[in-house]
Structure 1
């Protein structure tokens, strides 16, 4: 789940250097904008993802003086900012999830799968999964989807969401239990098109 060692180990240096040379902060954008955009698109759709990504890096730039340079990888910090911004649009996210649960079709759905095989089955699974996600609390949904889509370990998720690791684990367990129940007590780790949503843990 963690990235290979050294992949992002210069993020802290870039963030620190940007305090005196603001233009170098653009390096963080080039390194991480695509994954932040993908995460936001999965949660709110492509249209909102552009704004969330821009706002995430704007907020990060403004807060760069408070960045903990002992943390080499900036991704948990950036995901945390993005999750907070998405949280401000919680009603829009829940509305989109409920639409997907009800109709099996929603603009957000396209970002959840791009496979054409077993499309009908996949849409049915997505509808049930979307309904389950809509029923989670914001805190549970944030933990579940950051773990699923951000490729971060539990400690990094805890850093991203500013909660203890134990809280990450308990929220994740609750969320998985609720999703599993909504999927008819089928282990969601093996549900078509959703293994990345539930993951291992």
Structure 2
């Protein structure tokens, strides 16, 4: 434990400078460094004993910064709570409530493998690679299940019948 502190502590100022250069936001950079240090300490046993602790720590901070950048690009701009004065979330309209109910019902009708992928990617915001690792399937399988699941949800939300949403062929009666 003492060895870890002696290796990490002198690197903190450099990590902070690097994080500030990456994020251009002092508070976010400090949060990033804290998260990086927390990850490094929690996974210290994974560090190669003959490896360079400095490059390992910088790699952790760099990867966390990339993840945050990707995450913020998906989520849109961040609005601090202080800047949100006067903004009201309000109660959802009746129509929004009905859409939410319909979406939950449509999700429940998806096959388990599609529902899992849709939820992990869309709700939990895992990357395709992370979902593949969680579900122990190839990335291509994740992408095809996600595509099919989203299409079924779209059809269900547009009011398609269960057979259409399931991809059943259109049959017509011949007299």
State the TM bucket, normalised to the shorter chain: 0.3 to 0.5
- When the two structures are superposed, what TM-score results if normalisation uses the length of structure 2? 0.42
> Higher relative contact order at CA 8 Å, sep ≥6: structure 1 or structure 2?
1
